[in-house]
A and B are shown apart, each in its own frame.
Chain A
Amino acid sequence: MGRYDFRALRVRQNAKALVDSKRNPALPLWYNIVGDIPPSETLARPVLRAPRPKGNSKPSRMFQPLPIVYPEDRLRKDFFGDHPWELARPRIILEDSGNDAKGYDWSRIEQPGKPLDGESVVQRQLWLMQHEKLPKAQAYDKARREFYRHRHLEAVKRRVAKEEALSTGAYFGKGPLEVGMELEDQAFEHWRNWATQQIETEQANRAQMMSGPQNETQELSEGELDLAVEEVAESIPATNEGKSALGGAMLHP
Chain B
Amino acid sequence: MIIRSVVWRQGRRAVAQKFWQPLRTFSSAVDSIDSSAQNSLKQLHSLEAQINAAAPTATPVASIDPETATTAQSAVSESLADQYHRFKARESELGDLGTEISPHYQPNTLLNNPPSPADVTLELLLASEAHQGHATSLWNPANARYIHGIRQGIHIISLETTAAHLRRAAKVVQEVSRRGGIVLFVGTRPGQERAVVKAAELSKGYHLFERWIPGSITNGQQILGRCKTKVVNEKDEEVQGFEEQLFDRAALRPDLVVCLNPLENYVLLHECALNNIPTIGVIDTNADPTWVTYPIPANDDSLRCIQVIAGVLGRAGEQGSKQRLAAAEKGVITFPPARNLRLPEEPEAEAEAPKRESEALGRLLDGAEAISSHIKPELFSTSKSDHSLHNADDLGDMLDETNNHETNRRIKQVV
Seen from chain A, the residues whose Cβ lies within 8 Å of a Cβ on chain B are 4-9, 11, 14-16, 18-20, 25-34, 36-37, 39-46, 48, 63-68, 94-99, 113, 167-168
B-side interface size class: 35 or more
The residues of A that contact B175 with a CB separation of less than 8 Å are 30, 33, 36-37
In the complex, residue of chain B having the shortest beta-carbon distance to the beta carbon of A42 = B289
The answer to whether A30 touches B168, judged by C-beta atoms less than 8 angstroms apart, is no
Q: List 30 A-B contacts (CB under 8 A).
A: A7-B274, A8-B292, A15-B276, A19-B410, A19-B413, A20-B409, A25-B339, A26-B339, A29-B181, A29-B336, A30-B176, A34-B278, A36-B175, A37-B171, A37-B172, A40-B168, A40-B295, A43-B142, A43-B289, A45-B144, A66-B150, A67-B150, A68-B148, A68-B149, A68-B150, A94-B105, A97-B123, A98-B125, A113-B102, A168-B10
Beyond A33-B172, A40-B295, A68-B156, 6 additional contacts (C-beta under 8 Å) are A15-B276, A19-B410, A20-B409, A29-B335, A65-B150, A167-B14
The answer to whether A95 touches B290, judged by C-beta atoms less than 8 angstroms apart, is no
The answer to whether B13 touches A168, judged by C-beta atoms less than 8 angstroms apart, is yes
How far is it, in angstroms, between the C-alpha of A41 and the C-alpha of B165 when the chains are bound? 11
The answer to whether B141 touches A7, judged by C-beta atoms less than 8 angstroms apart, is no
**Nearest-Cβ distance from residue A158 to partner chain B, whole angstroms:** 16
With A28-B255, A94-B105 as known contacts, state yes or no: A18 contacts B276, CB within 8 Å: yes
With A9-B293, A16-B406, A68-B156 as known contacts, state yes or no: A96 contacts B103, CB within 8 Å: yes
The answer to whether A29 touches B409, judged by C-beta atoms less than 8 angstroms apart, is no
**Nearest-Cβ distance from residue A145 to partner chain B, whole angstroms:** 27
The answer to whether A67 touches B151, judged by C-beta atoms less than 8 angstroms apart, is yes
How far is it, in angstroms, between the C-alpha of A11 and the C-alpha of B292 when the chains are bound? 10
How far is it, in angstroms, between the C-alpha of A251 and the C-alpha of B108 when the chains are bound? 93
A-B residue pairs, 9 tightest by C-beta: A98-B123, A98-B127, A95-B127, A68-B149, A7-B273, A8-B273, A33-B175, A98-B126, A67-B150
In the complex, residue of chain B having the shortest beta-carbon distance to the beta carbon of A45 = B144
In the complex, residue of chain B having the shortest beta-carbon distance to the beta carbon of A67 = B150
Residue of B176, B255, B414 near A26 (CB, 8 A) is B414
How far is it, in angstroms, between the C-alpha of A8 and the C-alpha of B271 when the chains are bound? 10
| B155 beta carbon closer than 8 Å to chain A | yes
**Nearest-Cβ distance from residue B115 to partner chain A, whole angstroms:** 12
Residues of chain B from 152 to 172 with CB closer than 8 A to chain A in the complex: 155-156, 165, 168, 171-172
The residues of A that contact B339 with a CB separation of less than 8 Å are 25-26
| B122 beta carbon closer than 8 Å to chain A | yes
The answer to whether A39 touches B141, judged by C-beta atoms less than 8 angstroms apart, is no
Residues of chain B from 268 to 309 with CB closer than 8 A to chain A in the complex: 269-270, 272-274, 276-279, 289-295
The residues of A that contact B260 with a CB separation of less than 8 Å are none
The residues of B that contact A11 with a CB separation of less than 8 Å are 273, 276-278, 293
Residue of B104, B126, B145 near A45 (CB, 8 A) is B145
Seen from chain B, the residues whose Cβ lies within 8 Å of a Cβ on chain A are 10, 13-14, 17, 102-105, 121-127, 136, 141-142, 144-145, 147-151, 155-156, 165, 168, 171-172, 175-176, 179-181, 255-256, 269-270, 272-274, 276-279, 289-295, 335-336, 339, 397, 400, 406-407, 409-410, 413-414
The answer to whether B413 touches A25, judged by C-beta atoms less than 8 angstroms apart, is yes
Residue of A5, A30, A48 near B179 (CB, 8 A) is A30
Residue of A15, A27, A65, A94 near B149 (CB, 8 A) is A65
How far is it, in angstroms, between the C-alpha of A44 and the C-alpha of B272 when the chains are bound? 24
Residue of B276, B406, B407 near A14 (CB, 8 A) is B276
Scoring A25, A30, A41, A67 by chain B CB atoms within 10 A of each residue's CB, the highest score goes to A30
The answer to whether A96 touches B127, judged by C-beta atoms less than 8 angstroms apart, is yes
How far is it, in angstroms, between the C-alpha of A117 and the C-alpha of B13 when the chains are bound? 36
The answer to whether A65 touches B155, judged by C-beta atoms less than 8 angstroms apart, is yes
With A65-B147, A95-B105, A168-B13 as known contacts, state yes or no: A8 contacts B181, CB within 8 Å: no
With A65-B150, A98-B124 as known contacts, state yes or no: A27 contacts B413, CB within 8 Å: yes
With A40-B168, A43-B289 as known contacts, state yes or no: A29 contacts B127, CB within 8 Å: no
**Nearest-Cβ distance from residue B119 to partner chain A, whole angstroms:** 12
How far is it, in angstroms, between the C-alpha of A28 and the C-alpha of B141 when the chains are bound? 33
How far is it, in angstroms, between the C-alpha of A98 and the C-alpha of B124 when the chains are bound? 6
**Nearest-Cβ distance from residue B359 to partner chain A, whole angstroms:** 10
How far is it, in angstroms, between the C-alpha of A27 and the C-alpha of B336 when the chains are bound? 10
Scoring B155, B179, B339 by chain A CB atoms within 10 A of each residue's CB, the highest score goes to B179
The residues of B that contact A113 with a CB separation of less than 8 Å are 102
How far is it, in angstroms, between the C-alpha of A30 and the C-alpha of B182 when the chains are bound? 10
With A25-B339, A68-B150 as known contacts, state yes or no: A46 contacts B274, CB within 8 Å: no
